[in-house]
Amino acid sequence: MTDASRPAPQDTMIDILGVNKWFGDFHALKNVSLSVAKGEKIVVCGPSGSGKSTMIRLINRLERHESGRIMVDGIEVADDVKAIEAIRREVGMVFQNFNLFPHLTVLENLMLAPVWVRKTPKKEAEETARQLLARVRIPEQADKYPGQLSGGQQQRVAIARALAMRPKVMLFDEPTSALDPEMIKEVLDVMIELAEEGMTMVVVTHEMGFARTVADCIVFMDQGEIVETGAPKEFFAAPKTDRAKLFLSQILGH
Amino acid sequence: MSAVALRRPSSLPKPIEWIRTNLFSSATNTLLTLLALYLLWKFLPPFVNWAFIDAIWQAPNSKACREAGNGACWAFIAEKHRFILFGTYPFEDHWRPGVSILLFLSLYAISSMRRFWTPWLALAWLVGLALIGILMWGGVFGLRYVENERWGGLVLTLILATFGIVFAFPLSILLALGRRSEMPVVRAACVVYIELIRGVPLISLLFMASVMMPLFLPSGVTVDKLLRAQVALILFAAAYLAEVVRGGLQAIPRGQYEAAEAMGLSFAKRTALVILPQALKISIPPLVNTFIGLFKDTSLVVIIGLFDLLLALKTALNEPAWTGIGVEAYLFASLVYFVFCYAMSQYSQRLERDLVRGPAARALKDT
């Protein structure tokens, strides 16, 4: 990464600098640096085990980095619990397996964090929740339990749940990998809309169509390193490294 | 979707079909069915005769009872019911433990109805238990003071069991959370506590509470026997319950913890709003199992001389007028214990049906 490509500090939402992460003896992230500007959409791709998920899980401290520095919206991600909770309030996350709360209805899932973390009055939280469900096109499912919904619907609820906190950044950790093929589109459509509205997004995905449409920047990772970054056009047309060429030929080659 | 229900065609009427498939489906089954019928025929009629038809319901003492016939001598229970219910509580004040028993039963009843599941229920329990305390002890509102050495019978059993569960359950949740804590000191303390208490028989805990503890207290300071036994019961039950709760906590998928964390919920809120509701729900069967165990374990307090239901019965049996009524007495005691434990079991089954909705349970498994 060149310094010229880095956004000016006041526009930076996420700044990852020289971060290392080990799982036991396994060096999962090697000296990773990445900057995300406000409103920027970044797609992270790479073979499995390359550290993509680990990297975005560092941003809201679901994993702990051993060295280097991570700043989110001007707050350092470190051991301070209050700081971590402050960061998590501003960073929404969508998981591969949805992770909706099965004992709560869809509406309650959406209201939980606003009511208990943001102290939003219940009535207001419910209104926002219903608006968000309409936005992800499932207003009629508000009173059902997650287990009664299809995978695609569950993932859209999960996106709405993250948005209910009015986050400044959204992290997506392989949001369509656990879905049946016919449900992928309904989730991607919601994500594309979100991107068009100017949300800052970091998305780990293998959906290259999505990457082409919305990404400002593609980050290609392999074996715990960021191997290549670039605009989607250049990345897909002329990858600079052999590893990226190999990866692209494997996922696009059929 | 087509609504055609496929049912196995059958030419036989329903009851006969049921009997055939359930009782006579194979040679072994037929044999077992016949054997069971034979045993029922052999033992049930004599028992019914003894327990009901030939039973003696009124007699002044066991001698008169035995002379009156061969049936069960329920006259003993009729004659001694107040002693069994209230122990050695002053006779003229028996209404006080009587009302206390009714209060206990009402608290159980309202707690079992879902429409009363509001924060008010906790208040009802607080007020109810305080009232029971006032009624039993007295000393205020013109009630005569009754030291708890004289409490006894069913009411004592209910006090030990109810206070035992009410205090042991929250304590066990803290212990279970502590055992999973990332703080080494907290975790070690919880592990030591649980393993130590679980590794010791309840009887020895009760002995320690009643015999050894006074030795360690400075002279002049006394903690009464009932309180010591109650604390021993609570500590014992909490260790067992903690492992049950921990099992529930471990069954919750990692993703649930992560999703709650990612929302910015604090540890306390994650635990109270997301993790515990799910963990306790799946722990209902083993939890109630332990509750039932605790209810019956209260009978062990006899060894330190507390007058619970069982010791009251035994004492009544020792009266010269009522010798030789042991079978009836213990049958009655078993019946009382059974009624309470069966009620708990039924309640837990209903709770499970209400709470573990099919789809919700499935989603839990999927994530």
pLDDT at A6: 52
* Amino acid letter, A122: K
Which of B259, B281, B359 has the CB atom closest to A95's CB atom? B259
pTM for the whole structure: 0.82
User: Residues B325, B317: contact at Cβ < 8 Å?
Assistant: yes
pLDDT for position B5: 58
Inter-chain CB proximity B363 and A147 less than 8 Å: yes
Contact A221, A44 (CB under 8 A): yes
Q: Which of A78-82, A120-124, B168-172 has the lowest average pLDDT?
A: A78-82
**Pairwise CB contact (< 8 Å): A113 & B264:** yes
Nearest-Cα distance to chain B for A4, in Å, is 32
Q: Does residue A98 carry a pLDDT above 60?
A: yes
Residues B280, B288: contact at Cβ < 8 Å?
Answer: no
Strand partners, A218: A43, A230
Q: Report ipTM for this prediction.
A: 0.90
For an interface test with B, give the residue of A103, A120, A171, A177 to mutate (most B CBs within 10 A).
A103
d(CA B30, CA A76): 75
H/E element, A220: strand A217-222
Radius of gyration of chain B (CA): 26
DSSP secondary structure letter of residue A118: S
Rounded Cα–Cα distance for residues B209 and B235 (Å):
11
3-state secondary structure of B85: helix
Q: Are A97 and B367 an interchain contact pair (Cβ–Cβ within 8 Å)?
A: yes
A92 touches chain B (CB under 8 A): yes
In this structure, the dihedral spanned by the alpha carbons of residues A48, A53, A58 and A62, taken in order and rounded to 10 degrees, is -120
Q: What is the pLDDT along chain B (367 residues), one digit of tens a residue?
A: 445 556 666 666 777 888 888 888 888 888 998 999 999 998 988 888 787 777 777 777 777 777 777 777 787 777 778 888 888 888 888 888 888 999 999 998 888 887 888 888 889 899 999 898 888 888 788 778 888 778 888 888 889 999 999 999 999 999 999 998 889 999 999 999 999 998 889 888 888 887 777 777 776 666 678 888 888 899 999 999 999 999 999 999 999 999 999 999 999 999 999 999 999 888 988 998 899 988 888 888 888 878 888 888 888 888 877 777 778 788 888 888 899 899 989 888 888 887 765 444 444 444 4
Cβ within 8 Å, pair A112-B273:
yes
- Residues B98/B160, Cβ–Cβ less than 8 Å: no
Cβ proximity of A123 and A59 under 8 Å: no
Question: What pLDDT sits at residue B356?
Answer: 64
How far is residue B155's CA from residue B340's CA, in Å, rounded to a whole number? Answer: 13
Helix and strand numbers (H, E) in chain B are 18, 2
- Whether B262 sits inside 8 A of A88 (CB atoms) is yes
Helix (H, G, I), strand (E, B) or coil at B34: helix
Find all residues with CB under 8 Å of B202, minimum gap 6, and list them: B232, B233, B236, B297, B300
Instruction: With CA atoms as reference, report the closest residue to B133 among B226, B235, B236.
Output: B226
User: Does position A1 have pLDDT exceeding 50, yes or no?
Assistant: no
And the tokens for A62? 């679901």
pLDDT of residue A7: 52
- On whether any CB of chain B is under 8 Å from the CB of A146, the answer is yes
Strands A67-72 and A75-76, by their bridges, are antiparallel
- Burial string for B159-195 (b: 16+ CB within 10 Å, else e) reads bbbbbbbebbbebbbebbbbbeeeeeeeeeebeebbe
Which of B265, B281, B361 minimises the CB distance to A116?
B265
**pLDDT at residue number A254:** 53
Portion 93-112 of A in contact with B at CB < 8 A: 93, 95, 97-103, 112
Mutate which of B182, B258, B263, B280 to disrupt the A interface (most A C-beta within 10 Å)? B263
| Contact residues on chain B for A82, CB-CB shorter than 8 A | none
Burial of B126 (0-12, 13-18, 19+ CB in 10 A): exposed
Higher-confidence residue of A55 and B312: namely: A55
Amino acid occupying residue B282: I
CA distance readout (Å), A87 to A62, A203, A221, B156, B265: 12, 18, 25, 54, 11
**Which residues of chain A make contact with B259, given a CB cutoff of 8 A?**
93, 95, 99-101
Asked if A236 has any chain B CB less than 8 Å from its own CB, the reply is: no
Decide if B232 contacts B193 (C-beta within 8 A): no
Q: Enumerate the residues of chain A whose CB falls inside 8 A of the CB of residue B352.
A: none
Contact A29, A55 (CB under 8 A): yes
CA–CA separation, B175 and B170 (whole Å):
9
Nearest CA in chain B to A178: B367
Looking at beta carbons, which residues of chain A come within 8 Å of B362? Answer: 147
Residue A107 above 60 pLDDT? Answer: yes
Lookup: tokens for B180: 């999973």
- Residue B77 and residue B331: Cα distance in Å, rounded? 11
pLDDT digits (tens, 9 = 90+) for A40-50: 999 999 998 89
R_g over Cα of chain A: 18
Which residues of chain B have a CB within 8 Å of the CB of A109? none
Query: How many other CB atoms are found less than 10 A from the CB of residue B77?
Result: 20
Judging contacts by C-beta atoms under 8 Å, the chain A residues touching residue B263 are 88, 112-113, 117, 161-162, 165
Among A215, A213, A103, A104, smallest CA distance to A164 is for A104
SS3 assignment, position A82: helix
Taking only the tens place, the pLDDT of each residue in A191-243 is 999 999 999 999 999 899 999 999 999 999 999 999 999 999 999 988 899 99
Average confidence (pLDDT) over A186-192: 93
Please indicate if any CB of chain A lies within 8 Å of the CB of B351.
no
A214 touches chain B (CB under 8 A): no
Nearest to A103 among B261, B264, B277 (CB): B277
Helices (H), chain A: 52-59, 81-90, 106-116, 122-135, 151-163, 181-196, 208-214, 232-237, 242-252
For residue A35, is pLDDT > 70?
yes
B367 contacts A102? CB cut-off 8 A: yes
Distance CA B155, CA A144 (A): 45
Which residue of A89, A99, A165 is in closest CB contact with B259?
Answer: A99
Contacts of B254 in chain A (CB under 8 A): none
Asked if A23 reaches chain B (Cβ–Cβ under 8 Å), the answer is no
